[in-house]
Amino acid sequence: MILKNADIFDSEFAPRRADVRVEDGKIAEIGENLNGGEEHDLSGCVILPGFIDIHIHGCGGADFSDAQPHTLETMSRTLASFGVTSFCPASMTLPYDRIEKAFENAAGYLGKECGAYILGINMEGPFLSYAKRGAQNPEYLHEPDIDELKKLDKICKIRLVSLAPELPGAIEFAHEASKICTVSAAHTAATFEQAELGYKNGITHTTHLLNGMDPIYNRKPGAAVAALRAENATAELISDGMHIHPAYLALLYKILGEDRSVAVSDSMCASGLGDGEYELGGTTVYVKDGKALLADGTIAASTTNIFAEFRNIISFGVPVRQAVKSCTINPARAIGVDDVTGSIAVGKRADFTVLSSDLKELECVYIKGKRI
């Protein structure tokens, strides 16, 4: 199969006119005027690497933590309709047996995806701060436990684990956990010094920067400033314009630069649906005008998706090149899968998000070489 007559964002993330040959679900050749196979004419389109969402709790009415037979099928199909080709379903702070069941459900679904495919699990909780718990259930929060992480990783590969670096034993946990997966600072009341120590000892990522942590004060920088200063660490940004003001988002993208910014949806089951009453990890969430809130007004996850955020990011003044990287190679690199996906390069999976020439309309997606 050859994708022809489109502009592509190549492995250098520079747009150019080129054809792409796909064989056995992988990119076999990139060049001009390729011939010798079934041709897909994509005139007037732009081919991007497939969008990747490494932090998503649910969409289309499905919640990963519910661990129902249909859950991941619904998420897989819905995400493909949003232009997402791969994802990390995110767990919540729940009793161990419920987390275990969600992991088992994911393990049983691997390879059966009808749309976007699973890269591994994002384990958000239970090693989080009570003070900055957000929508996480406080009853089940506890100190970091490396044995728990190892047991769950044996069930289904963990790509990302969230950690409040101020918790007892957190630094030792980060050091050991970093041998298994990416460790991310999250839902934290850490001081600047506590967070900085974490970034020097195994933490290489930040979960939804500026959400679930103190704001930036002039004499109390906190975890957010430590995250921005940690040049070895990527950082998630929920780019719906609700979790963080657009002007602030534009500034954060500029500070992080084009290689450290990661767009995530952090969406819940209401993504793709209308306003109403929903559940997130057993907690009731009220969605009004697209904004998800707990009963006390605390913001809870989102109802957005990566394609909507991609358009937002550009509208906020972020360069297109950085917007593309933030939705593709950066999340892939953050969880260590950039050798197989995240950019248009020979040998990588043929995961493509195809947009209109103005980047405002989703035309189609290709997942492992199959048009969805």
Q: What is the pLDDT of residues 274-283, one digit of tens each?
A: 889 887 877 8
Tokens of 131: 């003070």
What is the structure's pLDDT at 136? 82
Residue 313 CA neighbour count, 13 Å, CB half: 31
- Which residue type, as a one-letter code, is found at position 122? N
What CATH architecture does domain 2-47+355-371 belong to?
A: Roll (2.30)
Q: Work out the pLDDT band at 270, boundaries 50, 70, 90.
A: confident
The angle, 0 to 180 degrees and rounded to 10, between the axes of the packed helices 222-229 and 246-256 is 40
Q: What does the alpha-carbon distance between residue 116 and residue 11 come to, in Å, rounded to a whole number?
A: 21
Residue 152 and residue 123 in contact, taking contact as beta carbons nearer than 8 Å: yes
- Residues carrying an active site annotation: 266
Least confident of 73-87, 195-209, 287-301: 287-301
Q: What does the alpha-carbon distance between residue 157 and residue 181 come to, in Å, rounded to a whole number?
A: 9
Could you read off the pLDDT of 40-62 as tens digits, one per residue? 999 999 999 999 999 999 999 99
Q: Work out the pLDDT band at 299, boundaries 50, 70, 90.
A: confident
The pLDDT of residue 176 is above 90: yes
CA 31 to chain centre: 30
Residue 206 and residue 174 in contact, taking contact as beta carbons nearer than 8 Å: no
What is the structure's pLDDT at 60? 94
How many other CB atoms are there within 10 angstroms of residue 96's CB atom?
Answer: 14
What is the structure's pLDDT at 301? 81
What is the structure's pLDDT at 293? 86
Mean per-residue pLDDT of the chain? 95
Of 6, 4, 2, 5, whose CA–CA distance to 355 is shortest?
A: 6
pTM summary value: 0.96
Q: Work out the pLDDT band at 273, boundaries 50, 70, 90.
A: confident
Could you read off the pLDDT of 342-369 as tens digits, one per residue? 999 999 999 999 999 999 999 999 999 9
**Greater confidence, 270 or 121?**
121
Could you read off the pLDDT of 80-96 as tens digits, one per residue? 999 999 999 999 999 99
What CATH architecture does domain 51-340 belong to?
A: Alpha-Beta Barrel (3.20)
Which residue ranges make up each domain of the chain?
A: 2-47+355-371, 51-340
Q: Work out the pLDDT band at 305, boundaries 50, 70, 90.
A: very high
Mean of the pLDDT values across residues 146-163? 98
Of 81, 107, 52, 88, whose CA–CA distance to 271 is shortest?
A: 81
Mean of the pLDDT values across residues 315-331? 98
Q: What does the alpha-carbon distance between residue 105 and residue 73 come to, in Å, rounded to a whole number?
A: 11
Q: What does the alpha-carbon distance between residue 347 and residue 26 come to, in Å, rounded to a whole number?
A: 6
What is the structure's pLDDT at 146? 98
Beta-strand pair 352-356/45-49: antiparallel
The pLDDT of residue 180 is above 90: yes
Mean of the pLDDT values across residues 262-284? 88
Q: Work out the pLDDT band at 137, boundaries 50, 70, 90.
A: confident
Q: What does the alpha-carbon distance between residue 40 and residue 371 come to, in Å, rounded to a whole number?
A: 10
What is the structure's pLDDT at 264? 98
